[in-house]
Amino acid sequence: MLSQQDMLEAERHGKQVRSIYVYEAPVRLWHWINALCMVVLAVTGYFIGKPLPTVPGEAAENFLLGYIRFAHFAAAYIFAVGLVGRVYWAFVGNHHARQIFKLPIFNGQWWSEVFFELRWYLFLEKTPKKYVGHNPMAQLMMFFFFTVLAIGMLFTGFALYSEGAGVGSWQDSLFGWVIPALGGSLQVHNVHRLGMWIMMTFAAIHIYAAIREDIMSRQSLISTMISGWRMFKD
């Protein structure tokens, strides 16, 4: 997981096979399903808070917001089940599958590499390091802006869903406490919406960083999430 180790591993492999199997099939599958869910959730969620212009005709003949909400809830369930499955895979998968769930915060070397990556992104380092999994900076960002945030979105989301599901539903039993804890239903709506914006902002950074590193750090990133193999270009 550490860069020195990774670099040695990478270079040793680079001379021989020039590629390493990083992301196992369930992780890759989850990544793309999750990405799709997030797009659906963000778009439908935006229009639940600020609905589209009024549709003409009778109420009985239309179900526009109903369908939008259905898509939101369906995608949310897939997102939730996916995340649970992903947590399971963190236990049974390879060590790269655990990266976004735990940070080696007591490891000084790891922290120094976080700052190395920060300098690299600030153009203060001329050459990037190579990593088999996430680089430490990416890992830090993934942990807070995906894992923690996604769990927060699940809790607030299911709390809001419990309002419709009703008192005594399992959503209410498990997540209903979130509503008074955050100061009421309206607060939970606002927090959930703010979470969406943070998630989308992070997604933009994630995509940009992946494309940039793919070009700049001489190793594959995007194709790795499709094939599972990290290719080192030199």
Nearest distance, CB of residue 51 and other proteins, angstroms: 6
For other proteins, the closer of residues 33 and 118 by Cβ is 118
For other proteins, the closer of residues 115 and 184 by Cβ is 184
| Alpha-carbon distances of 208 from 24, 53, 135, 147, 202, rounded to whole Å | 23, 33, 15, 19, 10
Nearest distance, CB of residue 34 and other proteins, angstroms: 20
| Alpha-carbon distances of 65 from 20, 53, 71, 83, 192, rounded to whole Å | 46, 11, 10, 26, 18
Nearest distance, CB of residue 195 and other proteins, angstroms: 9
The residues that touch other proteins, with contacts defined as CB under 8 A, are: 49-55, 58-66, 68-69, 121, 123, 126-128, 130, 163-164, 166-167, 176-177, 179-180, 183-187, 189-191, 193-194, 196-198, 200-201, 204-205, 208, 212, 216-218, 233-234
- Give 157-160's long-range contacts (Cβ < 8 A, gap of 24+): 157/76, 157/80, 157/192, 158/80, 159/188, 160/185, 160/188, 160/189, 160/192
For other proteins, the closer of residues 92 and 122 by Cβ is 122
Nearest distance, CB of residue 164 and other proteins, angstroms: 7
Considering only the C-alpha atoms of the chain, give the largest distance between any 2 of them, rounded to a whole number of Å.
Answer: 69
For other proteins, the closer of residues 98 and 193 by Cβ is 193
